[in-house]
Chains A and B, each alone.
Chain A
Amino acid sequence: MQSNEQLELFQQQSRQKPLARRDFLRVLTIAGTAGVGCAAAAFAGMALTRHQRSEVAALVADGLKKLPKRKLGTRLGGMMVTPICISSDWNRELLAPALDVGVNFIHKAGYWHQMPEEIKPLPRDSYYTDITVDSTPNNPDDFDRAYNQVTTALDRTGLRYFDIMRAHFGWHSVDAFKNQTGTYRAFQRLKREGKVRYFGVSQHANLYDNPYPSYPEIIQAEIDSGLIDSMQVWFSYGFPKEVEEVFAKASKAGIGMTAMKTFAYGGGRMRQDPARMAALKAEGMPGRACIRHALSARRPDGKPIFQTCVSAIGNMQVFEENVGGASQVVALRDGFTLFA
C-alpha cells in the first residue's frame, strides 16, 4: 500500500478511535520521510490524542531546528530576536514547539491573565515581551489609562517589566500623534520606574482600516519624531511601493521593524501567483511564501527592512508552514537564501 493510501486509512481510523501506538508510529515514520519542514502535513485531518499531538510537535520542532536571530533595530539595546514571534492569541498547544525552536519574542504578553505554564519557568532575560496599550487609538491623551494598563498587567502576570510598550493600533492622525501625548508621557514615567524599556507602535493605516492616515504620512511623522523605537506594521505581498519605501526609511533610521498580517493582507494574492511562490521556494505554501516575502524585503542599502514577523497560527500544519518560512534549515533545504 502506498504511503498516501496508508495515511488516508489512518485518518479514517483515527476518527473512530485513537490510533494504536503501532499505527501512530507508522504515521510518524511516513511524516519523517516527507522532508524537513513538511512533516505536519502527514497528520492533516487526523484526530490525535493530546499526547500524540505533542509528539508531532516535537517532530516538527526537530525538523525546523533553532531559528536564527536578528538585531531588532539599533534603538533597542542590541535586542536579538527570532524572525517570528509568539502572540498571546496563538493556539496554546503551539507554545512548546515555538519555544523549542527558540522563538524569543512574545507579542501582546500583557493580555494574558497569567503567564502560560510553558513560559513561567523560563529566565526572564531569555525572552522579550511587548504590551499593547489601548489608550490609542481612541484616547491617545489618556495618561492614566495607559499607565494603569501596564501596571495592572505586570501585577496580573507577575512579570517585572515589559520590554516594549506598544501603542495599539497607533494614532488616527499625525496631529493626534504629535499633540495628544498622554500615552507617550505614560511610557516616560513607566520607563523611569523600570516597568517598560522601549516605546513602540503597531500602526494601522487607511490601506485596510479607517479612520487612519496613509502609511507614508504617519510612518514618516513617527520616524521624524525620534520617539519610536519599534514599529509593527502591516506588510505583505503586493503592498504599494511607497509603503515599502517608508518602511525601509524607518528601518534605516534604526527602528526595530516587525511585519504583521503577512498572510491576512496578501495571502490571497500570493496564492494566485504560483510564479512568486516558486521564486520564494514555497510552492503550494502561501503562508511560508508570505513570511519569506516579508523577511527578504530589502532597503536600498541591501539590508532587510524587517527583522521579525507576527503571524496568526492556529494549528500545527500552519505552524510548520509559517515558522518554516523563518527557518534557516528549511531555507537551505529549499534552496532559498533567507539571510544574506
Chain B
Amino acid sequence: MESLVAALQAWVDTATDDDTTAVCATLHVAHRLKGYQGADGRWPDKLDLRTGRPVGEARTLAPLALLRRLDALQNTVEFQEACALAEAAGDFGPAIE
C-alpha cells in the first residue's frame, strides 16, 4: 500500500491547472480505497487491486495523506469521513506526511 500511495502521490505531482488527468486517474483508485477502509480506520497493507481482496493481515494508514491531499486539491469533502476515521485510529505520529 505504501508503494501504491507513493506512486499515486508522484503522479498527482504532475497535474497542472490545465491538465488534471493525473488527479482523475488517482481518484479512480482513491474511490476504491475508500471502500476498503476497515472499521479500525486502517487499510490492508497489501491489496490485490484487481479483485479488491486484502493480501495478508497487516494494516496501514498509508492512504491518509493522499486522501487529505485529494480533498484539498478538489475543494471537496469526499474523503473527509475516511480521513477522520483514520485519524481517530490514533497511534501514528508526525512521521505520517
Contacts and interface: CB of A to CB of B under 8 A. Distances in A.
Interface of A: 48, 50, 53, 88-91, 93, 108, 111-114, 134, 137-138, 153, 156, 169, 204, 208-211, 264, 312-316, 318
B51 A210 contact: yes
Given A88-B74, A113-B75, A113-B76, A314 B52 contact: no
B21 to A, nearest CB: 4
A315 B81 contact: no
Contacts of B75: 112-114
Interface in B3-48: 15, 17-25, 27-28, 32, 34-35, 37, 39
B52 A211 contact: yes
Contact of B20 (A53, A138, A314): A314
Contact of B78 (A108, A137, A138, A314): A108
Given A89-B76, A111-B77, A134-B81, A314 B28 contact: no
Given A314-B19, A315-B20, A209 B35 contact: yes
B21 A315 contact: yes
B69 interface: no
Interface residues of B, number: 27
Contacts of A315: 18-21
A314 B81 contact: no
Interface string B56-88: 000000000000000000111110010000000
A112 B76 contact: yes
Contact of B27 (A89, A114, A318): A89
A166 B77 CA distance: 16
Nearest to B52: A210
B81 A318 contact: no
Contacts of B19: 91, 314-315
Contacts of B37: 138
A111 B78 contact: yes
Q: In the A-B complex, list the 3 residue pairs whose CB atoms are closest, starting with the nearest.
A: A314-B21, A210-B52, A111-B76
A315 B25 CA distance: 12
Nearest to A145: B81
